[in-house]
Amino acid sequence: MGIIGMGYVGLTLAAAMAGRGYEVHGVDTQPALLETLGAGRPHIFEPGVEDVFQRWVGERIFLSHDLPDSGVDAAIICVSTPVGETGRDPYLLNLAAAAEHIAKKCSPDTLVVVRSTVPVGATRSVVLPRLADAWGSARLVMAPERTIQGQALRELVELPQVVGGLDEESLRLGLQLFGGLSAQLVPVSTLETAELVKLVNNCHTDVIYSFGNEVARLTERLGLDPLEVIRATNADYPRPDICKPGYVGGGCLSKDPYLLLSAAEQAGYVPPLIRSAREVNEDLPVHVAERVVELMGDPQGKRLLVLGWAYKGWPPTDDMRGTPIASMMPGFAKAGVRVLGHDPLVGGEVIRNFGGDPVDLATGFASADAVLVITDHPEYRQLDVDRLLPGSGVRLVYDSWRVLDESQVTAHGVHYAALGYEPAVAR
């Protein structure tokens, strides 16, 4: 099989399929990426992937900028489908280019699978015409990727695989292909149904997270504790649980609502709930940056240690897509705050590219006036504040995910705050 696009989706699928005994031809346009993968060094952190590549590159995994001239039995499109910085319009030229490459290298006997997340209708309107123009007919399915970073190899096997086909023959072949990966298959009636399944999954997640963030914004104003409110709300209550407040980013949740909104608008309906949820979640890091600056007092020239630069800490990842720090940095820069950065997985060069000065934990605490914990990485849950805070100039800890012990922090005369939780400074 061929996998077009060796980003997160293609990389993890290639590893999972190779682990199941398939011969995988991975295709990408970036020479440096192909070189590192060819040496068994994945460019993305994902538990288990490096082991698979080191074991099977050259035997089951083959990497190139093109599909084999002899074609493949199945060609799976895993290219990126980003949205624009302004207007948030879907960018589908990668999808079109992948379809054109498959049409050139393969034949009507090839099963073509769209795995990329796309607006509803894109498989039929973007991919199908390019195959049909070259071949006259096509075997085409849409089978969305629905894994989470940090658990992808397990979830690719355990999660139900949703498959929608152009016709009955396409659907049969798609179910046969993914039956070799997952024990549970969910056939759906159309390509569009499968496209919408992925978007609904992620938009629903975005919406429920946004409600937790709304609760936090409210408790911040009321002087209450959002976690206390949410714990009491959820305690043995037979209704859907309220989510804890937190940043909502990543390659999917920061993009997919706009893909759904684009398709919805073309159909003549603008879903207000989905749009509002995205606005709430995108505003949260901006709001936190403003609160941190204000809580620092006179911020000009002060140093802020930011712990966690990836978009999330658990499961651990080095993924910077949709990271909260990107929205926070303009506010810190405007206030004249110097940002020090630490992340267990994100390299120093990436932190520099985002405007921070990389430091180790000891140096960061010794140098900082305030600390902002952005992610709940396990390393931060184990921070020894009784060792790090004494003798430091830190006077504020903003613990976004409440991973530290508040009483330990305040025992050192340090003000403690968190999302939606800003207790008064003891005097």
Q: State which of 168, 189, 210 marks the end of a domain.
A: 189
Shared domain for 231 and 173, answered yes or no, is no
Rounded distance between C-alpha atoms, residue 96 and residue 92, angstroms: 6
Shared domain for 331 and 345, answered yes or no, is yes
Shared domain for 181 and 104, answered yes or no, is yes
User: How confident is the model at residue 315, as a pLDDT?
Assistant: 93
pTM score over 0.85: yes
Q: State which of 189, 210, 229 marks the end of a domain.
A: 189
Shared domain for 163 and 201, answered yes or no, is no
Shared domain for 350 and 401, answered yes or no, is yes
Q: State which of 141, 170, 189 marks the end of a domain.
A: 189
For residue 51, with 0-12 CB atoms within 10 Å meaning exposed, 13-18 middle and 19 or more buried, which class applies? middle
Shared domain for 221 and 164, answered yes or no, is no
User: How confident is the model at residue 107, as a pLDDT?
Assistant: 97
User: How confident is the model at residue 86, as a pLDDT?
Assistant: 82
Shared domain for 74 and 166, answered yes or no, is yes
Shared domain for 100 and 16, answered yes or no, is yes
CA distances from 330 to 146, 335, 394 (A): 32, 9, 22
User: How confident is the model at residue 427, as a pLDDT?
Assistant: 43
Q: Which long-range contacts (CB under 8 A, 24 or more apart) does 151-156 make?
A: 151/47, 151/315, 152/8, 152/12, 152/16, 152/46, 152/49, 153/12, 153/15, 153/16, 153/19, 153/46, 153/47, 153/48, 153/49, 153/52, 156/12, 156/13, 156/16, 156/181, 156/182
Shared domain for 171 and 252, answered yes or no, is no
User: How confident is the model at residue 425, as a pLDDT?
Assistant: 63
Q: Which residues pair with 396 in a beta bridge?
A: 370, 415
Shared domain for 171 and 198, answered yes or no, is no
User: How confident is the model at residue 116, as a pLDDT?
Assistant: 98
Shared domain for 171 and 61, answered yes or no, is yes
Q: How many domains does the chain have?
A: 2
Shared domain for 220 and 293, answered yes or no, is yes
- What CATH number did the domain enclosing 66 receive? 3.40.50.720
Q: In terms of residue numbers, what domain contains 414?
A: 190-427
User: What are phi and psi for residue 77, nearest 5 degrees?
Assistant: -90, 120
Mean pLDDT, each 10-residue run in order, the chain (427 residues)? 97 97 97 96 95 97 97 97 91 98 98 98 98 98 95 96 98 98 96 98 98 98 98 97 96 95 96 97 98 97 98 95 97 98 98 98 98 98 97 97 97 98 75
For residue 326, with 0-12 CB atoms within 10 Å meaning exposed, 13-18 middle and 19 or more buried, which class applies? middle
